[in-house]
Structure 1
Amino acid sequence: MHTLEQLRSGQLRQHTRINIKDNLEQLPEEFAEYCPQVEVLDLSDNQLSALPESLSQLQNLRIVFASNNQFEVLPEVLGRCAKLDMIGFKSNSIRHVSAAALPAKLRWLILTDNQIESLPEQLGECSELQKCALAGNRLTALPQSMQHCHKLELLRVSANQLASFPTQLLELPRLAWLAFAGNPFCQGFEHGSGLAKYSLEDFVFDKVLGQGASGVISLAHPKPGVALPSSVAIKVFKGELTSDGYPSDELDACLHVDQHPALVNFIGQISEPDCSAVVMKLIPEHFSNLGQPPSLATCTRDTFLPEQQLGIAAIAKIVEQMQSLLQHLVEHHMCHGDLYAHNVLVDDNYNIVLGDFGAASHYEYLPKEVQLKLERVEQRALAFFIEDMLSICRLNEQASNTYKQLKSQAKEFLGL
């Protein structure tokens, strides 16, 4: 973490990464003179509402993060930064985004949790756009021009005011991770969940097992007389918007996805005035993460630990389970929206469990031709998953027939 004093004193002149969290209300106009080498600039968690024009003089600037500030307009100076390709302005008060604010090389655009009602048609001219997060705004439609964003792979438009499904997205050749729940065009379930109902009083809560944007997962023990295993996991949902959408839509997906061997096993629900939660079968401790989340460099693609390598038989078993799971989701008219290795747990026998339904969206109410194209979107996510798995295949097994078959299958799903 850096300070404005360090900046002004010249201590940061050679720094390529600068992170200033100093309750700032403004930056000095001569900002660029103090850090001419900066590539990654993080100004999140301040009180900023504007950026200095001198930002455009930073010839190496590639990334600007300014979440949790006071911006009402996406600064147009960003569009004049020659190398800028990554913008993150989550949780501001942005109402207006002009075409001038979009840099030519834009690859990553995060505008989650703002007050944006429309986006410029020029967004479709951002030919490098790969990741776009727009959940939690007031968008009533998406630019028709987005049909030209041929490199777009991940899109979040949940929790907006979209009056109809944005069909211009459905011909995008690489779109694989799409979340759209929580819009007016989305229809809720008219039937109840088949999961048994419990109350908080039925459990003794133990330690916290994990915590994410949408809720807290705790180890819990049913009280005597409650017909459940001796230990379960309970996820209590928060009410706040997440980067994927509303926690209530995630809860809805959990309640209606039904059981599958490769899914987290939901066995109950809790619905009280101040608490919505799901009861899950406890995942054994010997399961571990299959992958790691994407990095700034990979943008939409998972990363893996340097030492992680798998044999082709293990990869084939994992892929087979994921294919079966995808078919299960199709039968339930659901896009998972986040089919990633980092959302998968795996044991020593390569049995997998997929969780995290934060980006899930139902689509059974949409026209059949739209449903079929949404299934293709999920198939692309499976193709990328296969490619990522093959990237950690042991070198001496990459000439095997199974490797070639999986490679071919991934290409087929991608239309190559």
Structure 2
Amino acid sequence: MHTLEQLRSGALAGTRRLDLSCGLTELPEEVFALADTLEVLNLSGNRLRELPHQLSRLHKLQVLFASDNDFEVLPEVLGACPSLQMVGFKANRITLVPAAALPPALRWLTLTDNAIDHLPTELGQRPALQKLMLAGNRLTALPDGLQMAQRLELLRISANRLARVPDWLTQLPRLSWLALAGNTMAGSWATESELPAVPWHTLTQGPLLGEGASGLIYRVQASDWPQPLALKLFKGEVTSDGLPEDELAACLAAGEHPGLTTPVARLVNHPEHAQGLLMPLIPPGHINLAGPPSLQSCTRDVYPSGLRLPAPLALNIARDVAHAVAHLHQRGVMHGDLYAHNILIDPMHGQARLGDFGAATRLPMDSTTPRHRWLALEVRAMGCLLEELADHTPAPASTALHALAQNCLSPVPSERPDMTTVAAQCQALAYGFAA
């Protein structure tokens, strides 16, 4: 994090990224001295309510973060910034999004956790738009103009007030990662699994294993459980994916599968009424297949430089994940975040597990939009994963994976295979190369 003293002294001359979080109520004039180099401006965690009209002088600015401020209107000056591609205004008090506030080069827009009830139809007229984060607002409908966003790949509309989702949404040719739980849509839902209850007082809490957007994960030992477990304690806050209670419900609906990190028990009687799930402890040796998308990659994961996967391992990963997702689809659950960074692999034994249900959606069983049309979106996400595996695997396995990926990536969703078919094809590939 930078300081005002550094900025005003000229110590930051020539910088490409500026991070200021120091109770600002207005943008310091000295920022404009960086106009010829500044590409990323992070103003999160201040008390800003507006941005100056001369912001467009920052002609190289590509990324602007202004989360956790006091904005009530998305500033129209953003639309005058010629190079601005990524805009993040999470957790403000925004109620109004003017069409003029949308930069012409907009690629990634985050407006999570605000009070927006309406979006301009011009949002669909931003041809580069790939990623749209709108969870935790008050939207009752999506603008019909959004159907023109032909490059849109990731959409988060969980925890809004949508009574229905337009049919055109399932026809977008590149949409792959969708979260829409926590809306007011009527219907009967996938049934939640019955899990044993484990009281808080029977747990011995161990070290913190990790932290996600929706919760903290601890190693624990339950007095009536033979093996150590992992406890996920939900934070109870709106995340970029949606609400923790929807994640919990999707986990319970998913049921158990060897390719999923799903719960084996439910926490009860927490002293602060926190909700929690107990899951098997992942054995040592498991690693994440990739890292999450970067500012540059936007919707695609970042793999370690030079990574080469042995063909048997790559094919086993494809097989395990495809079977896990096929299981979810049969249970009426759309994972919503089928990404390599949510996949743990065991390189030694050639196994993979899909986790993180933060963006998962239980689909209505009696919806006017048939479930297979929603699930076809996730088949495209599987196609992206297969394509990435192919790119890191030697031939001839890479050729076979690329061919299967292309079927999943068809721009016409109705032409994509279902996940049961994809799982069978992945199984055949893995068996064929192992024989």
- CA 1:35–1:267 in 2, change beyond 3 Å: closer, same or farther? same
1:266 aligned counterpart, secondary structure:
coil
- The one-letter amino acid of 1:312's match is A
SS, match of residue 25 in structure 1: coil
Q: Distance in 1 between matches of 2:373 and 2:121?
A: 24
More moved, 378-387 vs 11-20: 11-20
1:218 paired to 2:213 = no
CA–CA distance in structure 2, aligned partners of residues 98 and 284 of structure 1: 50
State whether residues 12 and 35 of structure 1, in contact with CA within 8 Å, keep that contact through their aligned partners in structure 2.
no
- SS of 2:232's partner is strand
1:248 to 229, 237, 245: 245
> What residue is the counterpart of 2:432 in the other structure?
none
In the alignment, does 2:202 pair up with 1:202? yes
**Paired residue for 1:281?**
280
Secondary structure of 2:152's aligned partner: coil
1:267 counterpart = 2:264:
yes
Q: CA deviation at 1:214?
A: 1.0
- 1:28/1:209 CA distance change after superposition, 3 Å: closer
Determine if contact 1:294/1:300 at 8 Å carries over to the other structure.
yes
- Looking at structure 1, the residues matched to 381 and 191 of structure 2 have their Cα atoms a distance apart, in angstroms, of 29
2:398 to 382, 403, 410: 403
Partner secondary structure for residue 400 of structure 2 = helix
Task: Provide Cα deviations, 1:120-172, integer angstroms capped at 9, x if missing partner.
Answer: 01001011100110000111111111111111111100001111123231111
TM-score by length of 2: 0.90
The residue identity in structure 2 corresponding to 1:324 is H
CA contact (8 A) 1:108 1:130 kept: yes
Q: Which moved more, 1:102-111 or 1:201-210?
A: 201-210
Q: Could you tell me how far 1:306 is from its partner in structure 2?
A: 1.4
SS in 2 for 1:352: strand
Residue 179 of structure 1 contacts residue 337 of structure 1 at CA under 8 Å; is this kept in 2? yes
CA RMSD of aligned residues (A): 1.7
Quickly say closer, same or farther: Cα 1:90–1:84, change in 2 above 3 A.
same
Deviation of the 1:33 alpha carbon: 3.5
Q: Which runs of structure 2 are paired with 1:51-130 in the superposition (5 Å)?
A: 51-130=51-130
- Native 8 Å contact 1:267 1:281 kept in 2: yes
Q: Which amino acid aligns with 1:266?
A: P
- Which residue of the partner structure matches residue 371 of structure 1? 371
Q: Supply the AA of the counterpart residue of 2:400.
A: Q
> In structure 2, how many angstroms separate the alpha carbons of the residues matched to 1:345 and 1:6?
42
**Residue identity in the other structure for 2:230:** A
Question: Is this contact kept in 1: 2:125–2:145, CA < 8 A?
Answer: yes
Q: Is residue 13–residue 36 contact of structure 1 (8 Å, CA) maintained in 2?
A: no
* Distance in 2 (alpha carbons) for counterparts of 1:23 and 1:190: 46
Distance 1:233 1:404 in 2: 38
Number of paired residues?
A: 408
For residue 296 of structure 1, what is the aligned residue in structure 2? 295
Q: Given that residues 190 and 253 in structure 2 are in contact (C-alpha distance below 8 angstroms), is that contact kept between their aligned partners in structure 1? A: no
The equivalent of 1:415 in structure 2 is 410
Q: How far 1:68 moved relative to its partner?
A: 0.7
Give the equivalent residue in structure 1 for 2:425: none
Distance in 1 (alpha carbons) for counterparts of 2:84 and 2:54: 14
Deviations 1:150-205 (A, max 9, x none): 11111100001111123231111110000000001155758553211221122211
Give the corresponding residue for 1:176: 176
Shift of 1:324: 1.0
User: How far off its partner does 1:88 sit?
Assistant: 0.6
State the match for 1:329 in structure 2: 328
1:307 Cα offset (Å): 4.0
Question: Which moves more between the two structures, 183-192 or 289-298?
Answer: 183-192
Bigger mean CA deviation after superposition, 161-170 or 330-339? 161-170
C-alpha distance in structure 2 between counterparts of 1:10 and 1:27, whole Å: 16
Q: Secondary structure at the match of 1:269?
A: strand
Unaligned runs of 5+ in 1: none
Letter in 2 for 1:381: A
Letter aligned with residue 260 of structure 1: H
CA contact (8 A) 2:25 2:46 kept: yes
**TM-score scaled by structure 1?**
0.94
304 and 192 in structure 1: CA distance in 2 versus 1, 3 angstrom threshold: closer
Flag the 1:357–1:191 CA change in 2: closer, same or farther, 3 A. Answer: closer
Unaligned runs of 5+ in 2: 412-435
Report SS of the residue matched to 1:18.
strand
- Residues 7 and 35 of structure 1 are in contact (CA less than 8 Å); yes or no, is this contact kept in structure 2? no
Deviations 1:35-66 (A, max 9, x none): 43211111111111111111111211111111
Instruction: Confirm or deny that 1:232 pairs with 2:229.
Output: yes
Structure 1 SS opposite 2:171: coil
Task: Sort the Cα spacing of 1:414 and 1:35 in 2 relative to 1 into closer, same or farther, 3 A.
Answer: same
Partner of 2:9: 9
Aligned to 2:15, what secondary structure does the other structure show? coil
How far off its partner does 1:367 sit?
2.8
Number of the residue aligned with 1:305: 304
Distance 1:203 1:37 in 2: 53
- After superposition, the Cα gap between the structure-2 partners of 1:266 and 1:66, relative to the gap in structure 1 and judged at 3 Å, is same
Shift of 1:14: 1.4
What's the CA shift string for 1:260-282, capped at 9, x where partnerless? 11111421112337131111111
Aligned CA distance change for structure 1 residues 15 and 30 (closer, same or farther; 3 Å): closer
1:337-376 matched pairs, under 5 angstroms: 337-347=336-346, 348-367=348-367, 369-376=369-376
Query: Mean alpha-carbon deviation: is it higher for 319-328 or for 5-14?
Result: 5-14
Q: Percent identity?
A: 44
State the alpha-carbon separation in 2 of the partners of residues 211 and 31 from structure 1: 34
- Whole-Å separation in 2 of the counterparts to 1:381 and 1:231: 33
SS in 2 for 1:170: helix
- 67-76 or 28-37: bigger deviation: 28-37
> Is the CA contact (8 Å cut-off) linking 1:146 and 1:168 kept in structure 2?
no
Letter in 1 for 2:104: A
